[in-house]
Structures are given as C-alpha cells and as structure tokens.
C-alpha cells in the first residue's frame, strides 16, 4: 500500500550559488559520503531528501542527515534512513521506499514513493 508520494525539483545553478553563499550548509544537508559528489548529484540528493519528507507528510523536525542516498550493486539509488526520518516512517508503517532521481539541462529532480507492505 502506498503511504505517500513526494517529488521535488531543484535548479542546479541556484542550488550551487546558495551553497557558495552558505558553505556550512553542506555540512547540515549532506553526509560525508554525499559531500564527495559533484554539484548536480548533490542537487539531486537534496531533491531526494525533500521528496522523502513530502512522502512522509512533511512533518516538522526531520533532520536532513537522517536521510541519505546511496547506490546499490547495479548503481540504483536507494534511501538510507535513521533517527527522525526512521521514526516518522515507523509511525506511518512505511517499510520501503522507491526512489528515482535525474539531473539534466540544469535541473535535478527526484520522486519518492513510501510504501507499507500489507
């Protein structure tokens, strides 16, 4: 059963400019592993985190570092959740996420589907 769907779109140049103006923001938004990625990939991961929050109902208090994007054996993206994001997922009964990300022509986007297996 689908519990929630979230989507987000990020203008990569605007996102990079924001990070340049506030460099410490990178530390608040991304894990050490994520920070090693190029700007377009960071923008896509930011979109994924936003989409995840939306799929969970966008409650206050979610921490950016409690959701991260990793790659599986076939390079498919997946969400890793902990802390505040995991707690919200458990409240809703979410036991799996589906994630798709893209970045092209200066735009990064992500969609997240939160699902509960019944």
Rounded to a whole number of angstroms, the distance between the first and last alpha carbons of the chain is: 7
Q: Give how many domains the chain has, as a whole number.
A: 1
pLDDT tier for residue 73 given thresholds of 50, 70 and 90: confident
> CB of 85 within 8 A of CB of 62?
yes
pLDDT tier for residue 72 given thresholds of 50, 70 and 90: confident
Q: Could you tell me the residue range of the domain that residue 62 belongs to?
A: 2-115
What does pLDDT average to over the chain? Answer: 95
The pTM assigned to this predicted structure is 0.94
The CATH number of the domain holding residue 59 is 3.90.470.20
pLDDT tier for residue 71 given thresholds of 50, 70 and 90: confident
Torsions phi, psi for 93 (to 5 deg): 80, 15
């Amino acid at each position: 059963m689908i519990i929630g769907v979230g989507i987000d779109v990020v203008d990569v140049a605007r996102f990079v400019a924001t990070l340049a103006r506030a460099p410490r923001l990178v530390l608040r938004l991304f894990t050490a592993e994520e920070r090693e990625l190029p700007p377009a990939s960071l923008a896509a991961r930011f979109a994924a985190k936003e989409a995840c929050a939306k799929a969970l109902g966008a409650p206050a208090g979610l921490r950016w570092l409690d959701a991260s994007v990793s790659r599986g054996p076939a390079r498919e993206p997946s969400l890793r959740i902990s802390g505040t994001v995991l707690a919200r997922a458990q409240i809703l009964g979410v036991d799996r996420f589906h994630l798709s990300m893209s970045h092209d022509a200066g735009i990064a986007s992500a969609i997240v589907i939160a699902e509960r297996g019944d």
